A = this chain, B = another copy of it.
């Protein structure tokens, strides 16, 4: 069972501010929780109702208690209280590594999907502008399907970081509709790929810091969709960087 204090704590973690203060986040869904308990993420408690039939050790709670704390409309019977990992120690060497930077990604589904894409392609770090949606939002955590445990997501002053890259001769690529065809551009195995906001693309301030604007050719002769979803563009571009 859950005490009133526990219920209050878990519910409070729906807000980023409270997650950051407590250093905790909530994971929901069978697949995600089962991945997290075997990962490097520290899982403080797992709570599950009779609906959960899997093997993860857990504290039994009622469906009523679960519904009180779950942010899903269709809970899968399991919820975990986890510790947000520190990313300050993990600093990639951008002379060797390839990383993703997100300029104001707002949709939790897109953020989760991008973390899963990074994980698939062995990209260990994502740098997010501070306005981007929080990776420890429970909708994001669920959309990552467990990949949140293997990718370091940093929240930083993105313009400052990219300015440092430029000074340092680290290539900064950016997904821009006006960019050069990614299939004919020279691509390096290190550097930063910047992806912009869903509605507005890359912000003006950041665009100035992009040394290598790239785009995905459409093949629709100007008659097709105006753009691709941010996560879709990320996937196609990462696939191409990795293919080379």
Q: Show the binding face of A for B, using Cβ within 8 Å.
A: 109, 113, 116-117, 119-122, 145-147, 150, 183, 216-221, 223-229, 231-232, 235-236, 239-240, 242-243
Contact = CB atoms under 8 A, between A and B. Distances in A.
Contacts of A122: 218-221, 223-224
A228 B109 contact: no
Nearest to A116: B225
B183 A224 contact: no
B232 A150 contact: no
A154 to B, nearest CB: 19
A117 B219 CA distance: 11
B183 A228 contact: no
Given A113-B232, A218-B121, A219-B122, A147 B239 contact: no
Given A219-B242, A243-B183, A235 B224 contact: no
Contacts of A218: 120-122
A216 B228 contact: no
Given A109-B109, A122-B220, 12 more contacts: A113-B229, A113-B232, A120-B227, A122-B219, A145-B225, A147-B225, A150-B223, A217-B242, A232-B235, A235-B236, A236-B236, A239-B240
